[in-house]
Structure 1
């Protein structure tokens, strides 16, 4: 039998934890999982170089603001995905009772929510500027978007209650509905007045369809019902990020660069901070 001192040494918490692979070990041992993150680092880097080149001749203030907001999307992404790969913003979480993987340690790349918290408001800022919307609508869309991402993170990190995970998911979805309302009901009229309705309609449709994929993937993936494993879930998020960020940004910047005169013109009936039309 082990004496008391030996048993205490053998059963120390740090020794017991060694029996479970760390998040960074899981990432390093799963080539497909790590590739789902590396592809975003590579494409974000290429996007940064491309967008800098595309914006080199953009001169008017509104066009340059759209360009800077759009450029920040891959800049945030490359920083955030690098943090994921370094192990800084990943971990393992024990799923609560009621979850399909209850009691198991599940790989959690929670840093993705930081990516979305800082990058998706830039997407909405660029879209709002393109539509020529007023300050109140722009503020509403961006703050609701941040609320959506933060409560989504809470849903992903909650481990004491399966019901509470879904409660946070519901709150996040409620924030998302407000964002969808602004995109679908408010900004199209603004874009029509600004003369950017065609490109706004394309980008709005792309954004709405792809952003709807995120809560669906959460519900089906390891954080929700666990119908999809962690690698498939990670690739799903990465694929959505590639289309919703880099493809979106390329289409937007190409149009702005070719139609800077339209973007520079004040929208008909433009408002100042949601108030009365500005004076000529």
Structure 2
């Protein structure tokens, strides 16, 4: 059953690549850089899930099965999602807030590396200490999204502000699922098994990658349809 869900994920990522490539051919005023990011996310993620579906990307560590390919996926796609969110936040501004974008990416990498390091240790105290570090970094990411990045958004037309708030709220809600699944899965307290955890990660990842990009790009494209999209 686990392998079936992995193939479903690969199909969803492939569908995302095709959809965003078609949208890129008719960008409707949305910068091509946003389409490139949207395409790169499912392309990279789907490739690593293909590795897992074929039996790779996993190893036995500390009494449980570690899907290390997930972390290789996340360490690239999570920053790319934040790049996409930052591009929306600065959509009609002359600058792209590279410093803030770098801070978001760096903090997100800390979150992911902390989760991986926690999975690699067999000592419970060390594991939960590393998990706590990751959660604190995770909260810092939220602080940047809803603090300084949100402040940049408010300099734009209200339609762009609405798009950003919807996209940021959706991403924030979906991303909460990752530390929760880590905690209740085999890596944490073990309330759910490895197969169930894999299934839930698949569903959550489809929603937070392809699903989120459809909402973000779709809303920007709809503004163009109404003649309200302003490109810097």
Q: TM over 0.5: same fold?
A: yes
Q: Does 1:208 align with 2:172?
A: yes
Report the counterpart of residue 93 of structure 2 in structure 1: none
8 Å CA contact 2:167–2:216 kept in 1: the answer is: yes
Q: Does 1:116 align with 2:70?
A: no
Higher RCO (CA-CA < 8 Å; seq separation 6+): 2
Structure 2 stretches of 5 or more lacking a match?
A: 91-95
Alpha carbons 1:36, 1:235 under 8 Å: kept: yes
TM-score by length of 2: 0.90
Q: Does 1:148 align with 2:117?
A: no
2:188 & 2:38 partners in 1: Cα distance? 31
Number of matched pairs: 222
Confirm or deny: 8 A CA contact 1:33 1:231 kept in the other structure: yes
Distance in 1, Cα, partners of 2:44 & 2:230: 25
Residue 34 of structure 2 corresponds to residue 50 of structure 1: no
- Aligned residue number for residue 264 of structure 1: 231
What are the within-5 Å matches in structure 2 for residues 58-77 of structure 1?
58=27, 63-77=31-45
SS for the counterpart of 1:227 is coil
Q: For residues 249 and 171 of structure 1, do their structure 2 counterparts lie closer, same or farther at Cα, with a shift above 3 Å needed? A: same
Unaligned runs of 5+ in 1: 1-31, 96-105, 266-280
Larger radius of gyration: 1
Query: What residue number does 1:176 align with?
Result: 138
By how many angstroms is 1:59 displaced?
Answer: 7.5
Structure 1 residue 251, shift from structure 2 partner: 1.2
Counterpart CA distance in 2 for 1:87 and 1:157 is 20
TM-score, with length taken from structure 1: 0.75
Q: Determine the structure 2 residue equivalent to 1:252.
A: 216
| RMSD between superposed Cα atoms in Å | 1.7
Distance in 2 separating the partners of 1:94 and 1:171: 20
Assess if the C-alpha contact under 8 Å between 1:52 and 1:71 holds in 2: yes
Q: How does 1:1-280 map to 2 (within 5 A)?
A: 32-58=1-27, 63-95=31-63, 106-132=64-90, 134-159=97-122, 161-195=123-157, 196-259=160-223, 262-265=229-232
